[in-house]
Amino acid sequence: MLFKLKQIFEKLKNPHIVNLVGNAIMTVLNTIQAAIIFNYLSKEGMGNYIIFQSTIGLVDTFRAGLLTTAFITSYAGTSKERSAEVAGSAWFLSALITGVFVLVNVVYLVIPFHMSDGGADLFIKWFGLVFIITLPSFIASCIAQAEQRFDRLLYIRTVSTGLSIVLVLALIFTKHLTLMSLVYAGFIAGGATSLMTIVLGWSRIGTIFKKTTETMKALFAFGKYSVGTSLGSNLFRNSDTYIINFMLGPGTLAVYNLGVRLMELVEIPLRSFAATVMPPLSAAYNQGNKYHVIYLLKKYSGLLTIILIPVVVGSLFFAEVAIWIVDKKYLSTEAANVLRVFMTFALLYPVERFMALTLDAINQPKVNMIKLIFMLAANVIGDFAGIWIFGNIYGVALATILPIITGMIISYHWLQKYEKFALWDVYKVGWLETKFLIRDSMAMLKKKKDASPQQ
């Protein structure tokens, strides 16, 4: 027994395994936190909180998009002196960006005009403080990724989210949970996490004195190209949020977002498969094996699609149960049907996602950027048309299929130039791989069962 446990812990030291486990853990923790908040905030309060969090994420994308990839490529595998130079330069650039955010924040606080929308007003009042608080943990996360210390990255994320959940539960227990107390809890959790990274030396804050102008220019020159894609991706994910909030109100946004939050559970296998398929895709491309590149695309996207079918069927029948688990006051809303629509469209996600990964693997990131622009346009047009036709969030939910189809068409068109294949083959290969997986799993279980009496 001890030997088996030792084997398990040895496997968990693998950075790829830690990364996959980390993604799963963070998705579950974020879903739990969202479920708790949904249950205790009013619909309007929840809608305002969603706007606050979404806009924080959008603006943070500028900092992360500008520095993360540039930092990792400049820091990884370098000497101790060079890594300190890169870390210090990243610290200085991040501090400059944060300073600009704080300046905008201060100007808004002193002028007499304030936003009438509750969520937008809350964001502009507090986002400067948020970026000051999270700066050390952001740099520490970049360093952890560059050093492939995914265990450390998991600690940072778990402490931040776990502490936030504990504080929210404390507010509920003391009956002090309000929108503002929730925001303050976020400040405390973020501040404690950043303090931890400073004390443990993970943020390397002392390297700021080793910055160089040349390195800062290099980081900025690299990052300015990736920040556009990052911002576009975030805008695509959050365009529904802003359109619903300003056209249908924060209460309706809370209902819609509940369905989106429950969809996060589908993202766990998507992210996990994506993390494991990228290296072999890139390897096949570098070896000039076009057939194997497309075969991997068919295998993983088709397999995941087949696996998702029972999940989708279950959600169609038990959507109300999922909503009831989070908060039964949403049972009288459109939340369950919104979840059904999303889960039905989820069957298209694997193919679209893995075709995008394949484009990256064959060195076509520009195509993905262009595709993202068209997907964002399709989503925005679809949202406005859906609200105009239906007058409610069903129109927005149904319009979600437009950007998915748009992305699939563009990706498929470009991949045909690389190596021709039929889209239907994805599902045929996926079905065959699913049967092989079931057969192998059954054979393994039978082997263990036959061997157990002899032990």
User: For residue range 359-376, what is the model confidence (pLDDT) as tens digits?
Assistant: 877 877 778 778 888 998
Rounded-to-integer distance, Cα 434 and Cα 324, Å: 32
- Neighbouring CB atoms inside 10 A of 130's CB total 21
- pLDDT tens sequence across 48-67: 888 888 888 888 888 887 88
The pLDDT confidence band at residue 446, using thresholds 50, 70 and 90, is low
- Is 80 exceeded by the pLDDT of residue 17? no
Provide CB contacts within 8 A for 252, sequence distance 6+.
Answer: 43, 47, 244, 392, 393
The pLDDT confidence band at residue 189, using thresholds 50, 70 and 90, is very high
Are residues 414 and 401 in contact, defined by beta-carbon separation less than 8 angstroms? no
Average pLDDT of the chain, as a whole number: 82
- Is 50 exceeded by the pLDDT of residue 4? no
pLDDT above 90: percentage of residues in the chain: 17
- Is 60 exceeded by the pLDDT of residue 454? no
pLDDT value, residue 308: 86
Q: Which of 139, 142, 141 lies closest to 154, judged by CA?
A: 141
Residue 348, helix vs strand vs coil: helix
Q: Which residue has the higher pLDDT, 362 or 167?
A: 167
pLDDT value, residue 444: 64
Query: What pTM was computed for the model?
Result: 0.69
- Is 70 exceeded by the pLDDT of residue 449? no
Rounded-to-integer distance, Cα 187 and Cα 120, Å: 18
Rounded-to-integer distance, Cα 76 and Cα 79, Å: 9
Provide CB contacts within 8 A for 403, sequence distance 6+.
Answer: 236, 375, 376, 378, 379, 382
- Residue found by looking up tokens 């979600």 in the block: 400
The pLDDT confidence band at residue 123, using thresholds 50, 70 and 90, is confident
Amino acid at the residue 104: V
pLDDT value, residue 381: 93
The pLDDT confidence band at residue 8, using thresholds 50, 70 and 90, is very low
Q: Which residue has the higher pLDDT, 161 or 27?
A: 161
All structural domains of the chain with their residue ranges: 15-250, 263-439
Task: Calculate mean pLDDT across residues 234-257.
Answer: 82
pLDDT value, residue 402: 92
Are residues 357 and 274 in contact, defined by beta-carbon separation less than 8 angstroms? yes
Amino acid at the residue 121: D
Are residues 69 and 303 in contact, defined by beta-carbon separation less than 8 angstroms? no
The pLDDT confidence band at residue 451, using thresholds 50, 70 and 90, is low
Rounded-to-integer distance, Cα 430 and Cα 166, Å: 42
- Is 80 exceeded by the pLDDT of residue 166? yes
- pLDDT tens sequence across 76-97: 777 888 889 989 999 999 999 8
- Assigned token pair, 286: 């570098």
Rounded-to-integer distance, Cα 90 and Cα 43, Å: 40
- pLDDT tens sequence across 288-307: 888 888 888 888 888 888 88
Task: Calculate mean pLDDT across residues 191-195.
Answer: 94
Are residues 144 and 152 in contact, defined by beta-carbon separation less than 8 angstroms? yes
The pLDDT confidence band at residue 229, using thresholds 50, 70 and 90, is low
pLDDT above 70: percentage of residues in the chain: 87
Angle at 80 between CA 74 and CA 85, to 5 degrees: 50
- Is 80 exceeded by the pLDDT of residue 348? yes
Task: Calculate mean pLDDT across residues 411-417.
Answer: 91
- Is 60 exceeded by the pLDDT of residue 286? yes
Rounded-to-integer distance, Cα 122 and Cα 378, Å: 29
